[in-house]
């Protein structure tokens, strides 16, 4: 069973989030599939770009809470939870990561897009951090959102659960570009990226990590901050009401 469909062409690996009936929610399967797509992209020395896109109305709906809070929640290890590790890898891999968002990116789905090196917003793109509405804090997504938007904009988008259309997403920095034809915009970006080899993008991304170092304990702390709220009885009730 797979939540992601992978295709390859000329230095580009595409990972299509392919469970529209689940709103492409973040599940253990989806996370494994995306980690595997990254593994495949990194293992192929000719692969320069990994493109994440999605089928259906949702780019990604965030953590699947449609059945309420999961009975078992994992303890983050020193490197954080699997979702955090995926976002961290998307920012660090020498492969250029591109999110083509032409549907709703919600909650953790916003973080998934924001962690990519480039975000292209199609006409149906919406970005919305909805966590606070059910008592959660988007602790793992926020660092990746904030380095795009700055501290204040990441905070207000969360506090007000703002529903950002493509133009506002670009203004806020969540998307790098908006286009009526997202696939065409992607082709244009791929041409631009074809001028830079993988060793160079790897060196650039490594230097970015040097210039903007992240606190080593942030992954673990972000996981705990997320789980702290998730296991709160009030949050349980709010999520349960939504799931019902």
Judged by beta carbon, residue 55 or residue 188, the one nearer its own copies is 188
Q: Which of 36, 155, 236, 240 touches its own copies by CB under 8 A?
A: 155
d(CA 160, CA 146): 15
Residue 196 touches its own copies, criterion: CB under 8 A: yes
Burial label, 58 (beta-carbon count in 10 A; 0-12, 13-18, 19+): buried
Q: Of 165, 206, 193, 31, nearest to 98 (Cα)?
A: 193
- Contact (CB, 8 A) for 225 and 139: yes
Q: Which of 60, 146, 164, 182 touches its own copies by CB under 8 A?
A: 146
Return the active site residues: 131
Residue 151 touches its own copies, criterion: CB under 8 A: yes
Instruction: Pick the stretch among 11-19, 69-77, 78-86, 158-166 that binds its own copies (CB under 8 A).
Output: 158-166
Residue 199 touches its own copies, criterion: CB under 8 A: yes
Q: Where are the alpha helices (DSSP H) in 56-173?
A: 82-92, 108-114, 142-149, 151-159, 166-172
Helix (H) or strand (E) holding 73: none
Q: Residues 174-193 vs its own copies: string with x where CB under 8 A?
A: --x------------x--xx
Q: In the bound complex, what is the minimum distance in angstroms from residue 32's beta carbon to its own copies?
A: 27
Residue with tokens 């580009």: 12
CA-based Rg of the chain, rounded to a whole angstrom? Answer: 17
- Give ∠ CA 184-190-193 in degrees, rounded to 5: 150
- Contact (CB, 8 A) for 170 and 122: no
Judged by beta carbon, residue 26 or residue 189, the one nearer its own copies is 189
Residue 198 touches its own copies, criterion: CB under 8 A: no
Contact residues toward its own copies (CB under 8 A) are 96, 117-118, 132-133, 135-137, 139, 142-143, 146-148, 150-153, 155-156, 158-161, 173, 176, 189, 192-193, 195-197, 199-201, 203-204, 207-208, 210-212, 218, 221, 225, 228-229, 232, 234
């Amino acid at each position: 069973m797979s939540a992601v469909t992978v295709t390859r062409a000329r230095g580009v690996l595409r990972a299509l989030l392919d469970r529209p009936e689940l709103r492409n929610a973040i599940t253990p399967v989806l996370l494994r599939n995306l980690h595997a797509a990254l593994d495949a992209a990194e293992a192929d020395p000719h692969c320069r770009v990994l493109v994440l896109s999605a089928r259906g109305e949702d780019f990604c709906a965030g953590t699947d809470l449609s059945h309420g809070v999961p009975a078992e929640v994992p303890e983050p290890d020193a490197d954080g939870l699997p979702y955090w590790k995926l976002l961290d890898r998307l920012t660090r891999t020498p492969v250029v990561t591109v999110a083509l968002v032409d549907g709703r990116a919600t909650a953790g789905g916003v973080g998934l897009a924001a962690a990519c090196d480039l975000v292209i917003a199609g006409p149906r793109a919406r970005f919305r951090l909805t966590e606070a509405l059910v008592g959660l804090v988007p602790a793992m997504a926020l660092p990746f959102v904030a380095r795009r938007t700055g501290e204040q904009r990441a905070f207000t988008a969360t506090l007000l659960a703002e529903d950002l259309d493509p133009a506002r997403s670009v203004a806020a920095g969540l998307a790098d570009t908006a286009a009526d034809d997202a696939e065409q915009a992607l082709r244009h970006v791929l041409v631009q990226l074809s001028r830079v080899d993988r060793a160079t993008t790897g060196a650039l991304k490594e230097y970015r990590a040097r210039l903007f170092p992240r606190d080593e304990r942030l992954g673990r702390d972000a996981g705990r901050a997320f789980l702290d709220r998730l296991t709160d009885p009030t949050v349980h009730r709010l999520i349960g009401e939504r799931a019902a």
